[in-house]
Amino acid sequence: MTAENAAVLFVDHQTGLANGVQTQSPADFLNNVKALVTIAQVYGLPAVITTSASDGPNGPVMPVVAQGLPNAVVVHRPGEINAFDNADLAAAVKATGRKKLLIAGISTDVCVAFAALSAKDAGYDVYAVVDASGTWSKLVEDAAITRMVQAGIVPINWVAVGAELLAHWQSTTGEAHARLMGDHLPFAGNNYAGFLAAKGHA
């Protein structure tokens, strides 16, 4: 996975649906989603956002996603449960021209799993970003991850995504990546503060 071959798909990160995420705390979930958004910003990854019935109880796109990725393509699905059953969504992902597809969403067992399975069938190398996704039950989430793994989909978290894209701390994105880690991972923030202090920048 590199910044040149990866794209990210946010499936149904909607305010109403977020209320049902119980596999992690609301604060942790928001932090993890924001971290993935920031990774897309830092590495210039093409992003596609899709919603389901956003004018109803599912709610609009979570502000952290909508505001963080103002240039992303947004596809509002009228009712398809599997996002890839929507022709506009499938076309938007294809238009990124990227082979590696990072997928996160609500819920892990339906919105992420169904899209991931279809994307895999369509020829993408698919990574399910599990900590930027969520559902109402850890048991359900574990079963969904197992199903995806059996189909050849790679479960991953945002820290590992970022590290794979960074590859080397001397990269031009190294400083921005350090800020990302500091902002979203407490111990990394402490380490970064110590580094700056040692350099006389505190």
Q: Just list the catalytic residues.
A: 111
**39, 129 contact by CB (below 8 A):** no
d(CA 135, CA 123): 26
**Tokens at residue 6, please?**
């990866």
User: From CA 14, how far away is CA 29, in angstroms rounded?
Assistant: 13
The continuous run of DSSP H or E covering 20 comes out as: none
The residues, any chain, with a CB within 8 Å of residue 179's CB and separated by 6 or more, are 192
